[in-house]
Amino acid sequence: MIYPSLSAGLAQLQALASFIDKGSNSATFIFYDNNKPANTNTAADNAAKLVTLNLPDPCIKSVEADHIELYPSDSGTVIKTGTAKWARLFNGEGGVVADFAVGTDITLANTNLVVGGTLNITSIKLYPNLGS
């Protein structure tokens, strides 16, 4: 695996933010209660969908010394009771950006979601993979 310098990694994340904003719709995080697929080429099971959160456009809030920060999501209404296990980020065109494991890649105050409740992400920070 190739590990970029910090400057190159931050530039990659800024390009990723542009890809997230691509399209005429808002980028979305969708949370699911089944196991995370092995890769992003595997379709998500719509029956496992818990809640959809929209990001503002543009999504990038700031570039910091060691990460980029995205703006918070809106609040989404939970459509099914379940435990959030993973989330998929889609860009504004509906293309898959990345999958995130809840508890590892994304921390929620409460992973047990109840139908009719709301969820939002207040802080989104992406760090480059520098190999250490």
Q: How many CB atoms lie within 10 A of CB 109?
A: 6
Residues with pLDDT less than 50, the chain? none
Sign of CA dihedral 95, 98, 103, 106: negative
Is the separation of the CB atoms in 92 and 57 below 8 Å? yes
pLDDT at res. 1: 83
pLDDT at res. 129: 92
H helices, E strands: number in the chain: 1, 11
Of 24, 44, 22, the C-alpha closest to 99 is: 44
pTM of this prediction exceeds 0.85: yes
pLDDT at res. 132: 74
Domain range summary for the chain, segments of one domain joined by +: 6-126
pLDDT at res. 94: 97
pLDDT tens digits, 88-107: 999 999 999 999 999 999 99
C-alpha to C-alpha distances, 110 to 27, 71, 83, 85, nearest whole angstrom: 23, 21, 9, 11
Rounded Cα distance, 117 and 24, in Å = 28
